[in-house]
Amino acid sequence: MADRLIYTKEIPSLGHYELVVLGGGPAGVCAAIEAARNGAKVLLIEGSGMLGGMATTGLVGPFMTNYDREGERPTVGGLYREIIERLEARSGAILPENTDSPSIHTSFIKRYHRHVTPFDSFMLQIVLDEMVREAGVGVLMYTRFADCVCEGGKIRSVILAALEGLRCVSADLFIDATGNADVAYAAGVPTWKGEEESGVPQPGTLMFEVDGVSDEGYNAHAKRPGGPTGAVKAYRTPTEGIYKINHLRVFNTDATDSASMTRAHVEARRQVLESYRVLQETPGFENARITQVAPVLGVRESRHIEGKYKVTVADVSGGVKFEDCIATYAFGMDVHPRNAEMKGNFKIEIANVYYVPYRAMLPIGCDNLLVAGKTISCESQAAGGIRVMPCAMAIGQAAGAAAAIALRDQLALDAVRTEELQSVLRAHGAILD
């Protein structure tokens, strides 16, 4: 039997949009909303049945701190702030200024955990549905990116695997917010996976939630489950007695390989029960019960693109300021051990605030594509902080604003003026200083 199949088929088109955003996670949904609010005709493609990515389908939470290293002032505003304020108005979040560490909201972890934002993942789905509808974003869920058709260094159309079969859609510009740089990779953009030297990514984790917890009992215990060096972390949500559990790790998981993800997810399900047993031995969790397990594996690291600038460890640790800054952040370079023998996460100190340049979203080799979220051009170690959801949302908002400016003024993406992009972002609440 031949190991390849040549396949030709006429594919129905979904039409033409000014901007197509692939991936409805934290970066993609903010990119789509920002672009639409700035006048662009936008289609947002999401493979699952909900927006929010790891924050919803992955049950990842809380939102890690959006404050500087010392926890004194915010580093992310804009759409992130709007989203959490909308959540808070529905009792679906606790605003970061109202939390501190160590506490039950941080699993009693102190470092880099001042002012986290506990939130309810279902209520976040509702808020994001409302926001894309209000902005006029076209949304197509249950639809996955499959491939793209390129010509002259640009993407002309993307091919989608919809429930009704293969479909295509064309656009002037595209944003890759897939979390795997799938679009960039298919378009021929140079990429690498995981750590530069070894190719080994950070491990994956399958999040789950429990209820029936005694907040008083856990607060009296005052340390994370399993002891101070334990791997199980329990973060209280906005609702009394309900906790998100971030726990064991599945090593050497390739998020771009189906067989690897299958193996990892099976192992991660076993780990859920192992961690649950640890929880039940923790004061306050004696009557806890699992209420939901994330349907998708949490992936910390996948591909990174080669962009027109690569953010380095030195940039993050030194707080290098870029003229084309589009986001600031200050979560530590949280690189989880890449194998069972490695210990510790935060091995390199960061600046009080660090900066993300626009050029890191501009891939080499594809002129009408922006890449948003954790797969921007960034050294693996440096991505340990930039990958975190509030920063991904700030990057996504910047991508949407840049795309809208380029469309309005008929500019190439790399010709968008820094001053105008920053002006639009600041007008919409972004923090760039």
**C-alpha 89, offset from chain centre:** 23
pLDDT in tens, 349-389: 999 999 999 999 999 999 999 999 999 999 999 999 999 99
358 residue type, one letter: Y
Return all residues near 4 (Cβ < 8 A) that are at least 6 apart: none
- Please report, for the chain, the start and end positions of each structural domain, with discontinuous segments joined by +: 13-93+122-195+301-427, 204-299
CA atoms within 13 A of residue 380's CA, in its CB half-sphere: 21
- pLDDT tens digits, one per residue of 244-258: 999 989 999 999 999
pLDDT digits (tens, 9 = 90+) for 280-323: 999 999 999 999 999 999 999 999 999 999 999 999 999 999 99
Is the pLDDT at 229 greater than 60? The verdict is no
| 401/407 Cα distance (integer angstroms) | 10
Tokens of 244: 């998100």
For the cut 80, the answer to whether the pLDDT of residue 227 exceeds it is no
Confidence class for position 338, pLDDT limits 50, 70, 90? confident
Q: Encoding tokens for residue 140?
A: 């197509």
- CA 293/CA 146 separation, integer angstroms: 27
Among candidate residues 424, 323, 324, the one with its CA nearest the CA of residue 35: 424
Give dist(CA 250, CA 57) in Å, integer.
Answer: 18
What's the rounded Cα separation, in Å, for the pair 317 and 371? 23
10 Å CB burial of residue 196 (0-12, 13-18, 19+) is exposed
- CATH classification of 13-93+122-195+301-427, choosing from 3.50.50.60, 3.40.50.1400, 3.20.190.10, 3.40.50.170? 3.50.50.60
User: What's the whole-model pTM score?
Assistant: 0.96
The answer to whether 19 and 171 are in contact (CB under 8 A) is: yes
* pLDDT for residue 341 is more than 70: no
Q: Are 430 and 77 in contact (CB under 8 A)?
A: yes
- The mean of the pLDDT values for the chain is 95
Q: Percent of the chain at pLDDT above 70?
A: 97
